[in-house]
Structure 1
Amino acid sequence: MAGRNGRTVRDLRRANRGAVLQRLYFDGPLSRFELGPATGLSSGSVSNVVADLIGDGLVEEAGSVDSDGGRPRTLLRVTPGSGHMIGVDVGETRVRVELFDLTLTELARAERPLEQQRYEVDVIVDHIHAGITEVLAAAGLAPERLLGVGIGVPGIVEHTPDRGAVVHGQTIGWDAIELESLLRSGSPLPDGVPCFIDNGARTLGQAEMWFGAGRGARNALVVLFGSGVGACLVTPEAEHGRAVEWGHLTVRVRGRRCRCGALGCLEAYAGAESLLARWREEGGRVPGGADEETALTAMLAAAYPPDTAAADPVALAVLEETAEYLGAGLSDLINLFQPERILMGGWAGLQLGARFLPAVRKHALSYALRHPAENVTIELGSLGPDAVTVGAAILPLADFFARGGRRPDPDPESPPPAWRRALRERTPR
């Protein structure tokens, strides 16, 4: 039965379960007494919800604490082994697959290297399938126990009702790739395990906002600085983040050609790929046959050698110019969105790190309007190289919370999605 606001009793129960689960997840262990003020629920509702969650194996007791003059209060926490998620990062140099328990403790990982700048769709799909199989086998976990698989990819992700997630990755040669359908074909997972695909910058942002340097911020931008650059915008209206194709903002009319095909994009000046290309063009000694991560390490060593060695002036000049372009690009984000916090992550951002950030910060604040510049901080992300993978695993976890800690129920009246119909049509009769 629905109430005046259209919410049913089932909706209310789901919301109450989700509220208790999330508070225990982020702030636990907590007692039943503490859960009331934390969730806004009455003591009776808290008791009912906790009993329900304990019965489902999602919550367990975790010791007790003394109360003021009364009986000790039992503490509660989320049961780590009551759910599992897989996070996948389709990166520039490798496909990384990690298996986590419900508290995002890593249980197993697998990595598949990619040939430099090679994004063959079939190869990526095979790497993801093999990685999922490997981590499940390493942990001895049945695939049916997964809450879902989250995947962070380059490009714009379109979620369609009939084709699932479709990826438009212009910079990597992906034109309307029906990735979800391809992943379901030959998947090691049963149909009931959902797959969540999103932009890698958004999964990075999700991780930093939930567990990293973004916690507590209402308006933030998380920047992914890798082979290219991207960003995730988090606002009260987009609390789970929205991917922003920041790397394709034009910063120089008739400038360098970007890998997307346009001229003068920020990514043509600030991404690691372009940074190394400019060093090579100016006569820098880029290691032959090395991947981008190794080459960038060599460039940093050339620009910032030990005290007794002379710096490579070309490498240093390219890095300083890159810092100015990156700062100018950040100033546009500051002026447009007026964030309270900007975080820089991604493998290249982490490599450049604290040595590079002061120059980026100086240029960003000098190019931005004074008022928003005075109210923003620019720092490094805190979650390290696994942030995209962790953020990808958060996608099924967030969905699980939204459903009140219940797995999705199959709806026999709904038409099957296109990927399932296609698989049936391919099956020999």
Structure 2
Amino acid sequence: MSKKLKNDRRKLLVYAHYYIPDVASTGQILKELAEGLLHEFDITIICVVPSYTGKVNDQYKTKMFYKEEINGVKIIRIRVPEFSKANKISRVKNILAYFIGAMLATFKVGKMDYVYSISQPPILGGLLGVWGKWMKQAKYIYNIQDFNPEQTMAVGYSKNKLILKAMMCFDKFSCKQADKVIVVGRDMVETLKDRFKGKKVPNHTFINNWIDEKEIYPLSVKHEKVIAFKKKYGLQDKFIIMYSGNLGLYYDLENLMNVIEKFKAREDVVFAFVGEGTIRENLVQYKEKNNLQNVTFIPYQDKADLIYSLNAGDVHWCLNAKGIKGVSVPSKLYGIIAAGKPIIGALEKGTEARLIVEETNCGYVTEPGNYNEIQNLLERFLNEKDTILPTEMSERGRTYLVKNLTKDVSIKRYIKEIKSC
């Protein structure tokens, strides 16, 4: 990149709770977005020190701010206290430390033309964007990955009406202040309109999240690293039904264990959960209590190894709890179809993820909470596992992704929408 071109780029400030090397899905997407925008914008990201698991390395415990540069993206990291995902108070302290630190870090960057924030942490991500807009006199783009308080209400994380009402007021305020709101699902457009009852709806657009199809792609079952992954975790010679991602509140995983228990006698099948999260320990305890020997838990995989773990699964879960329609889109969907794997889904009708599965016919899907039907779909996959049907599903999903859900397609749209502000 020439010096002249560098100097000509408009300046973009990004507030991101997590950024690489943290394994949060939003952190990975923001990495690809930021690097994809570099030829158009000079980018600075304000985020936390690596801490998605709750732990902070000693190298990030001595100062409040740390400046870094990764692949041309400038980063200001904020020290935050360690936390436990199972402890609400420690999580709140961690999030507030980021919020306050990010406000202060804003003074450490110069003039900005654009400010971009995502809806994480809930509510505070939007308010940070408003703060940045005011402090830098810049255009503000608010990217809503998850609507809150709608998500909080859907999973019963809080039932305090006063808090929920305040959350809604704050996030609507952030939407109104934004020069453009970008949502990541067609169903989320309707949620935004419903918030404002169709009147004075903020300027908005819809852009899919994506996966880098050159990093995640189908591999042969005989690939040495796929075989090595299976061997490491005792998955050889099994039909692998995999869940890969955050073991959190939004996926109805605890109730899913009741369905999985019905297959405990199937020694040819293994249910593999790859990842960490709030309810992981609950799932482990259920496994041990009910002696589910064909259920296994596997740690998060480094991004470089994700292609091998995803390809190890024969079928992948894509799930959302009831009430998540129009609130968020499970990003794991993109990784599954990038690896060319069939989907077993529990997703509400009309949700972005279900629309994609149905439009491509790359899996079987039913409503969240319909546990009898989920059991039937599992049995259907097991009956069809030696036929051509799973392969045909895989090919349809991958073909659709390459045409519609790639990084390049979405980033071109982001550039256009940011510049149009």
TM-score (norm 1): 0.33
Structure with greater strand share of residues: 1
Relative contact order higher in (CA < 8 Å, ≥ 6 apart): 1
